[in-house]
Homo-oligomer: A and B are copies of this chain.
């Protein structure tokens, strides 16, 4: 198992990516190909006692401000471009980056290609439910979708939960503004029909208040709605925790039992914390690609590499291809 990591990606660059790679490599025994500037990366590698880190030189960097598609075309030696190509060339089994999200998508799309039957790759995000396992997709790759795209997202979500999370018949819900069949906008009412006629375990419309309840394993929406949902949740959770923390934990006068409260808060914060999950798979590209938050820390990078390894071992790519074929995508 070899995973190509964009060592220059993320807000903190190699200082964080190399540390995350080392932690992952030691625990898993897999090899991480650290793609980027050797002068910057090699001294950091020497600090870690592992033979499983290899440096692959890449002379260019795509910054967070670069225009995604233009940058990928104009900088063929950028670290995230080289990392994506390693997968295509069979040199790596997966590609992980905390760099410019648009550029990571563009590089994966241009250099890895799509799985037959999938028109639009989608970003899948774990949903932090207090009990159970759930994912939401798309959360940002496709802002304007057609019903056929949402059907394909459902198929990819099905394959992901089945293969990577081991849920035999994952339930699929369509994010909508009411549970009745007739509810929704043009996109969701037409998607409903496609999902109902598919062989997926479709349980119907799911309202916003069910996203975090864990009632369904897979929640489908277009990338605009999915992105708004994730960020609304992030913002609200942060505000609520901030308010309660201030009132209950930091102010010892109001709360003599502050210490146990602190532990409870840390537990909830972990449940809600994106960095604990580490990476969002870009499903539908022909190979495994994992997108990390720009602000990823060492733990998040390590977890993203774990997500990549799990996806490769589970045979996710082939499972998506099978599901797409059954759904009657363009690959037929």
A residues neighboring B (CB under 8 Å) = 130, 140, 143-144, 175, 177, 184-186, 188, 207-213, 221-225, 227-241, 243-244, 247-248, 254-258, 260-261, 264-265, 267-268
Contact = CB atoms under 8 A, between A and B. Distances in A.
A234 B208 contact: yes
Copies of this subunit: 2
B230 A208 contact: yes
17 contacts: A130-B243, A140-B177, A177-B224, A185-B222, A208-B227, A208-B232, A212-B236, A212-B239, A225-B225, A228-B228, A228-B229, A229-B229, A232-B232, A254-B264, A255-B261, A256-B256, A256-B257
B227 A229 contact: no
Contact of A224 (B185, B237, B248): B185
B177 A228 contact: yes
A210 B235 contact: yes
Contacts of A243: 130, 268
A22 to B, nearest CB: 32
B235 A209 contact: yes
Contacts of A130: 239, 243
Contacts of A257: 254-258
Contacts of A239: 130, 212-213
